[in-house]
Amino acid sequence: MNTHAIILAAGRGTRMNSALPKVLQAVGGRPMLAHVLAAAGALDAAQHLVLGHGAEQVQAWLAQRGAGGAPQIAVQADQLGTAHAVQQALPAVPDEALVIVLYGDVPLVSASTLQQLQRAAADGLALVTVTLAEPSGYGRILRDANGRVTGIVEEKDASADQRAIREINTGLLAAPAASLKRWIAQVRNDNANGEYYLTDVVALAVAEGLRVQTVSAASAEEVEGVNDRVQLARAERLYQRREAERLMRAGLQLADPARFDLRGELLAGRDVFIDIGVIIEGRVELADGVRVGAYSHLKDVKLGARSEVLSHCVLEGLDAGADCRIGPFARVRLDTQFADEVHIGNFVEIKKGRIGKATKAGHLAYIGDALVGADVNIGAGVITCNYDGANKHQTVIGDGAFIGTDSQLVAPVTIGERAFIGAGSTITRTVPADALAICRARDQKTIAGWKRPQKPPKP
């Protein structure tokens, strides 16, 4: 039986107090909706997305996302309840399909739970339930004396005895499409909220003599909905804890899993260590023996074996070789490559650089749009002046060159192999290989008895 996932994402999310639709609020660096689409994708299910408030923004995100097949869109112009929302997508679902109903604001649901739900619904209707110590706010699962599900009652419509029930409805449901269409057509809105509840299909299925199957969620956390900023922050920490534990079980060493943030994908080799406060974004690959220091931020970075990032570095778009040493307080920007054994020290910034083997820039330098050879020494305060106000230009530095402290290389310019640039020089023309270039005032003046300016005394 083909599976079709209907994802409800039409709510206004007013408690978020945001111009961004609720389902686009981020958990782990991705919109909540992205997590739900990924879970549905694990079922190999055709996807239907029911939109309402902020539909244009969600569709713009889907177009920008451009990954995998786009879900089919249905619009719920008026929010009249969950049954009404599902009904908007059902015409596009073939009768012979199995429908799984998901929610765009339940981002932590696992593929394994959905797969259990999929199997449980093979012979009819299936629900995901969970037992809570404090079930306030949730619909309760009603069972007969034999333990069979007879229905679901929303809290506002529940009696005192029903409110004492601790097994609650998560909203996750699976059923044959033909049956679901038939049941939803019979749902009425004679309840406290005047809405068409999807939960009412359970009693209708039971009335037809169908036994309702239930699947217990692996944890209450994975089926929690997110309605406000507090719940969003909770979902973020739950996600981070889950990802940290997954990575540690695979061999990653985290100094403190509670102070680690994954906002993308991390691929780590053996004996990789990450200190506290590190943020991982995009796709980051860390080879065997890599160490990342405290409070560093890595986005779309690849580091070779045994390379070390010291504390407080910001690295984006870096592809580095083995045995490199970066930081502390270094910044590397987009489209930069390091060969093996490169050393970039504190307060060095590199952008669009190709840095050769064993080259060193110890501190306080800017290297932009530069092709730098091997074994180059770049002193403190060196700047490649790559921008003329309209265009960027490249600096080329040959193998073994020495760039003295506080020098400016005005691009486009080439420094030959083993050339030596004297400290304090401004270089505007090509320096040949094995040459010394000095461009600075040679006469030093000393004025005896000179008095520095002083501020007037405070009144």
Phi, psi torsion values for 29, nearest 5 degrees: 80, 0
Determine whether 364 is exposed, middle or buried from the number of CB atoms within 10 Å of its CB (0-12, 13-18, 19+). Answer: middle
Task: Kindly report the number of other CB atoms within 10 A of residue 5's CB atom.
Answer: 27
Burial 158-174 (b: 16+ CB within 10 A, else e): beeeeeebebbbbbbbb
* Pick from 359, 358, 252, 346: nearest CA to 296: 346
C-alpha triplet 280, 282, 288: angle, nearest 5°: 60
C-alpha span between 408 and 420 (Å, rounded): 13
Which of the following is catalytic: 35, 297, 312, 363?
A: 363
Tell me if residue 343 is catalytic: no
The pairing of strands 402-403 and 260-268 is: unpaired
Cα dihedral sign, 125-131-136-141? positive
C-alpha span between 401 and 181 (Å, rounded): 75
End-to-end CA distance of the chain: 89
C-alpha span between 76 and 54 (Å, rounded): 11
Q: Are 56 and 74 in contact (CB under 8 A)?
A: no
Catalytic residues: 363
